Structure 1
Amino acid sequence: MDPFSIAAGVVGIVAPTLHCVRLLVKDLQNIADAPDAVKALTTDLQSVGLALASVQAVTDPQWKSLGDAVTAQSEAAITSCKTSCERFKTSLDRWTRHSTDGTLSWRDRATLGVFRQGHIKSISEQLQKCNITLTSVASIATLHSSLQQTQTAEEIKTMISTKETAINDEIAAINDLSAETIAQLETLALAEPDEGETDADQTGATKQVAMEKRALAESRKVLEGLLLVIQTAAANAQARQGPTVNFGSHNKGQQVGVNSGTIYTTFGRKG
């Protein structure tokens, strides 16, 4: 498949996802006395909005440098984010159906039970990981471009080491969170609804946690792909520089690392 076609798929899904995120932020901000757990989602959504904007700024050549696999998985991660936001908006509309004038009524406020809280917790975790993943995509795209420029070996080593550490740490965090989603699904299956909650709340919470589990797997694939991208780019950048000689701390006198040619040395006259 043409890599530019794949990149177009990412660009195509970013705009509607960003629109969905902004609508949900607006809905949450219109609930004057929303519970803290609901209010906290506003920050998560705004962060994802910034990450989506950064991905939107990635150029076609940069997507090509990231490769088909990373590009396709990025599209899948964004699509999962959009789906979760749409589902949560539907649930939020149902939860606040008794509210008027943008104020969450006490009746609605009092029925944020186990399933609704589980739904909120799960989408919050998904949004946070989506933000980190998409920010990493944009960051590595920029890093890859910079590695094509003239850089010293030490600069390359530092940049790659920093990115590798951050991505490996995030993959480990995703693995831990994935294990938690399995336990959470089991808990939701056995839980009894709180007063005011319905079967729709249990179904919504369960679907969201299942979606989070899938989204985490998608994010892991993106991050693993990014690791390969930066390692390959670093190797190519260093190969272009040719072999280097490390003299350690003794930066004086005549020193030779490995040499197979003739050496011409001119000595100046001591004054």
Structure 2
Amino acid sequence: MTEPLSITASVVGITVPALHGMRLLSEDLQQLKEAPKTVKRLSEDVQSVETSLKLLQVVGEREWDLLGTSVLDESKATISSCTQACNLFRTDLQRWTRHSEGGKLAWQDRTSVGFFKQGQIKAMSEQLQNCKLSINSVVSIATLYSSVRHTHITEDIRGTMSLVQAEIKGAVTTTDKQLVVLESKLEDMNLSSDDEKVAGPKEGRAEALQQLEEERKALQVSRTLLDELLSKAQEESVAKAAIKNQDSSTTVTNVTFGKQNSGQQAGVINGGVHGAVFGKR
């Protein structure tokens, strides 16, 4: 099993560049004056993912240990896909607005961003929303596991489990719908690739296809993660997490009294997600 310190390091190693990339994209979007509503909504989506990533950073080593290697790896893959999509979109955005200065869109760029690139802007927004749903689901399960201290599952805990399960199932439904729509878009683009009037310039088609393919990969990774999280939200898994919590809360340590006297001290460590309590979002 992965050592706790390496778990923390690996999560930080993924979230820090993700936050940096999203902050840069957010700054670029906020600088655009007279931007269409889709750009403003995209900016809000970027900020909401930043908030979710900061919540994820609070999840402690023990909670990651309880969630398991699969959830850790799939969470990292989801975040990496989102980071890559943001970086690619930022590069595209800079090319789309190359005629503009001082944050004011030139007429050529206003036409491009305001009409021709609406599909790609919307696709980026949907990918960010999916990333946020997945990250929030991880945080919800981590919070649930952190709160369970006894193997006896109370009615309050069952109520929390039901809420978490409903949240994850909603995310699964949303992801499935996005995948269906995305597959339809990709099929339409491939069918119309020989018709320039429908498909647009070759460069634009390749750009749009690349983004849609990246979105499909991200959605598939998120879907796998959500399935794993749903299994972690079942009563059997929560009970197992409670047992591990109990096993890790009681420790026996050697205590030395002077040079020759020594003994043992038993104690209870009530650690959690670094002592943090996650509230409702």
Q: Conserved in 2, the CA contact under 8 Å of 1:48 and 1:127?
A: yes
User: Would the alpha carbon gap of residues 67 and 102 (structure 1) be closer, same or farther in structure 2, given more than 3 Å must change?
Assistant: same
Assess, with a 3 A threshold, how the Cα gap between structure 1 residues 186 and 115 changes in structure 2: closer, same or farther: farther
Kept in 1: contact 2:150–2:242 (CA 8 A)? no
Q: What is residue 234 of structure 1 aligned with on the other side?
A: 238
Using the aligned pairs only, state the percent identity: 39
Please report the TM-score for the alignment, with normalisation by the length of structure 1.
Answer: 0.81
Q: 1:153–1:104: structure 2 CA closer, same or farther, 3 Å change rule?
A: same
Question: What amino acid is aligned across from residue 225 of structure 1 in structure 2?
Answer: E
Match of 1:207 among 210, 213, 230: 210
Amino acid at match of 2:224: K
Match of 1:2 in 2: 2
Asked if the contact 1:78/1:130 (under 8 Å) is kept, the reply is yes
TM-score by length of 2: 0.78
Report how far residue 235 of structure 1 moved.
Answer: 3.3
Equivalent residue number for residue 254 of structure 2 = none
In structure 1, the residue matched to 2:123 is: 122
Alpha-carbon displacement from aligned partner over 1:182-208 (angstroms, at most 9, x marks no partner): 10112233166679x743322121111
Q: CA deviation at 1:115?
A: 5.6
Check whether the contact 2:55–2:139 (CA below 8 A) recurs between aligned residues: yes
Shift in alpha-carbon separation, 1:31–1:106, aligned structure 2, 3 A: same
Q: Which residue of 2 aligns with 1:21?
A: 22
1:38 partner letter: V
1:78: how far off? 0.2
3-state DSSP of counterpart to 2:117: helix
Output the aligned Cα RMSD.
Answer: 2.4
Matches within 5 A, 1:167-246: 167-189=168-190, 190=192, 198-231=201-234, 232-236=236-240
- How far does residue 127 in structure 1 lie from its aligned partner after superposition? 0.2
What does residue 42 of structure 1 align with? 43
Give the AA of the match of 2:211.
Answer: Q
> Could you say if the C-alpha distance between residues 238 and 24 of structure 1 is closer, same or farther in structure 2, counting changes exceeding 3 Å?
closer
Residues in 2 aligned to 1:72 and 1:164: alpha-carbon distance in whole angstroms = 21
Q: Secondary structure of the equivalent of 2:12?
A: helix
CA distance in 2, matches of 1:127, 1:237: 30
Against the structure 1 CA distance between its residues 97 and 26, is the aligned structure 2 distance closer, same or farther, given a 3 Å change threshold? same
* Paired amino acid for 1:164: Q
Compute the displacement of 1:222 (Å).
1.3
CA contact (8 A) 2:152 2:239 kept: no
| 1:14–1:52 Cα contact (<8 Å) kept | yes
Taking the aligned partners of 1:237 and 1:70, their CA distance within structure 2 comes to: 14
**TM superposition shift of 1:152:** 5.8
| Structure 2 unaligned blocks of 5 or more | 245-281
Measure how far apart 1:237 and its partner are: 7.2
Kept in 1: contact 2:186–2:209 (CA 8 A): yes
Name the residue aligned to 1:106: 107
Aligned AA (2:202): D
Q: Aligned AA for 2:2?
A: D
Larger Rg over CA atoms: 1
| Aligned residues of 2:74 and 2:224 also touching (Cα < 8 A) | yes
